[in-house]
Amino acid sequence: MLLLSILSSLVSIAEPTWRLTWADEFNGTSVNTSRWGLRNNESHCCGPFGKKQELQLYLASEVTLDNGHLVIQTKWNPTLGPKENGSVGTFDYTSGWLDTEKSFTQKYGRFVANMSLPTRKAEGIWPAFWLLPATPCWPTGGEIDIMEMVGNPVENDAWGSYHWAPPNNTYCGKDRAPIPGMGIKPHGAPVDWQTGWHLYEVQWNSTSITFLLDNKPYFYRTYKEVSMPPGPMYIIFDQAVDQTIFSPKPDNPFYKGDGVQMRVDWIRVYEDANNV
Question: Which residues of the chain are under the pLDDT cut of 70?
Answer: 1-14, 46-52, 178
Q: Among residues 115, 155, 111, which one has the least CA distance to residue 130?
A: 111
Which stretches of the chain are DSSP H helices?
A: 2-14
Chain-centre distance of CA 105, in angstroms? 15
Rounded to two decimals, the pTM is 0.92
Q: What is the pLDDT of residue 10?
A: 42
Q: How many CA atoms lie within 13 A of 25 on its CB side?
A: 2
Question: Which pLDDT value is given to residue 2?
Answer: 53
Cα distance between residue 250 and residue 253, in whole Å: 9
Q: How far apart are CA 151 and CA 47, in angstroms?
A: 13
